[in-house]
Amino acid sequence: MLYWALVFAVVALVAGVFGFGGVASAAAGIARILFFIFIVIFLITLVAAIV
């Protein structure tokens, strides 16, 4: 999931460089959501491994 967040972040950067503002903001939003989902799943797994 972190891989996909990074892919969408790169897509957002490339789209922003070429002036596609709508695509860049959409890709950045998706990357942000995927990153936070990754963090939540990582923390749940970390807590489950400790307990």
How many domains does one find in the chain? 1
Q: Where are the alpha helices (DSSP H) in 1-51?
A: 2-17, 21-50
Residue span of the structural domain in which 31 resides: 2-50
What does the pLDDT read at residue 2? 85
What does the pLDDT read at residue 38? 94
User: 1-51, pLDDT tens digit by residue?
Assistant: 789 988 999 999 999 999 999 999 999 999 999 999 999 999 999 999 998
What does the pLDDT read at residue 1? 76
Residue 38 to residues 7, 29, 32, Cα–Cα distance (Å): 14, 14, 10
